[in-house]
A and B are shown apart, each in its own frame.
Chain A
Amino acid sequence: MVQPLTYFKESASQTAGPYVHIGCTPNFSGITGVYDKDLGSGSMVNDQTRGERITIRGFIYDGVGTALKDAMIEIWQADADGYYNSPSETRGKADPNFFGWARQPGDMNTGEFAFETIKPGKVPFRDGRPMAPHVNLWVVARGINLGLNTRMYFSDEEEANAVDPILSRIEHRVRVPTLIGKREGDTVTFNIHLQGENETIFFDI
């Protein structure tokens, strides 16, 4: 006999379903008067926020290239200096004018999502090497049984991307571009392909 290990199992995931917006972005779905504003909606930036202003835009495509119109995307990112606004951040204090988390539904007619944010700084990997600037994304929708995790890196960070501890160890180099947001001016375009030839790299985090 040995001492028993008593752990619970994580609650099993179920799809967010077609009506996730009722619960998470009710004002967007037309149900007003209960919440003042939808949590995580609007610009992530105010006048005092440090960092370079950018807008991340994109679509989520299914296996035949149809854009999802019922998805919800959440992002989580570091501030301009690479600190997360979280109690679990131990390296320093994040910019108090940058929460770092937001969520957006895709546009009801086109499916396009957009986040007004700042470009994050570098965050260290576990061994201390810097990771290239990146935004963490979580995608849920009808038909997705367990939320999908991915990262968006930046096309204007070629040098940092080349030595990023995550990107540099991906065996199938042809897939790496699926993680790179294409920067043009202040806009960074990041399309997510759930399936197919250009399937986005998703992570088991």
Chain B
Amino acid sequence: MKNTPPETTPFFARDREWHPPAFTPGYKTSILRSPQRALISLEGTKSEITGPVFGHNILGEFDNDLIVNYAKPGEMALGERILVYGRVLDERGVGIPGALVEFWQANAGGRYRHKKETYLAPLDPNFGGFGRTITDENGGYVFKTIKPGPYPWPNGVNDWRPAHIHFSVFGHGFAQRLITQMYFEGDPMIWICPIVKTIPDENAIKGLIAALDMQNTIPHDMRAYKFDIILRGRRSTFFENRKEGN
């Protein structure tokens, strides 16, 4: 870890025209789960500027290898082997070191290992479907997995999710907390997905599509997808508007 003092400034305002609104009737579940009243704006106090930071001691040896972390000894998950890598940055382009990144996904056939999952595609006995890692000093992260399959879901009668990986990301402040999804370059299912279409801005959607990166493949083993995650930036300059110091 770099020996730089932690930043203590407030975060940039969140651009809520860029994120999906709460009420998106094309995604039916949002209808009854969307607040309808205006959010109350709250400029960053210590409660929002601070946040938990996790140490590498929480990680197990194979937490960032979904091909083996649930597999029986000597076996591996089925599917297209891929490496997903990128950086966790803030809106200033500054890498965020020590950021906990968690991910979960369906198996190669589009099936989740979950009690409430009803899709007829089979479970893979060697695939759990989740992992985690912590970014390095430059904000970099990497994990191995198999490419998840698309799957149908009960929304419209014929709605399908594009292949995707869910990401949960911690920055250094509670106000940076973010959950999003990564999609795959070239997938025609992205543009017809009701959940993707909750995002109003086409460029915001493009920002969630990982690029196939043939420079970073592992030859004869796995292809690479690059996915950078941008968290809220924080002010580089700051003066408290207080009457007296404390």
Q: In the complex, which range does the number of interface residues on chain A fall in?
A: 35 or more
In the bound complex, residues from chain A placing their C-beta under 8 Å from that of B93 are 6-8
Mark out the residues of chain B between 204 and 246 whose CB falls within 8 Å of any chain A CB in the assembled complex: 204-205, 207-208, 229-233, 240-244, 246
CB 8 Å contact bits of B183-211 with A (1 = contact, 0 = none)? 00000000000011011010111011000
Q: Report if B21 contacts A (CB, 8 A).
A: yes
Contact B50 A142 (CB under 8 A): no
Contact A7 B20 (CB under 8 A): no
Bound CA–CA A142/B93 (angstroms):
30
Among B13, B19, B243, the residue within 8 A (CB) of A128 is B243
In the bound complex, residues from chain A placing their C-beta under 8 Å from that of B103 are 23
Q: Report if B3 contacts A (CB, 8 A).
A: no
Contact B91 A170 (CB under 8 A): no
Contact B172 A87 (CB under 8 A): yes
In the bound complex, residues from chain A placing their C-beta under 8 Å from that of B203 are 9
Contact B168 A23 (CB under 8 A): yes
Q: Which of A29, A78, A88, A89 has the most CB of B within 10 A?
A: A88
Bound CA–CA A85/B52 (angstroms):
7
Q: Report if A186 contacts B (CB, 8 A).
A: no
Given contacts A10-B91, A76-B52, A204-B14, contact A145 B19 (CB under 8 A): yes
State the Cβ distance, B35 to closest chain A Cβ, in Å.
Answer: 5
In the bound complex, residues from chain A placing their C-beta under 8 Å from that of B230 are 8-11
Nearest-CB residue, chain A, relative to B44:
A205
Measured CB to CB, the residues of A under 8 A from B are: 6-24, 26, 29-31, 33-36, 39, 62-64, 66, 68, 70, 74, 76, 78, 84-91, 99-101, 123-128, 131, 134, 136, 138, 140-149, 151, 166, 170, 175, 194-195, 199-205
Measured CB to CB, the residues of B under 8 A from A are: 6-8, 12-16, 18-22, 24, 27, 29-37, 39-54, 58, 60, 63, 69-70, 89-93, 102-104, 112-117, 128-130, 166, 168, 172-175, 177-181, 195-196, 198-199, 201, 203-205, 207-208, 229-233, 240-244, 246
With A24-B104, A127-B243 given, can you name 9 additional A-B contacts, CB distance below 8 Å?
Answer: A7-B92, A8-B90, A11-B207, A14-B195, A17-B166, A23-B168, A70-B116, A128-B246, A202-B35
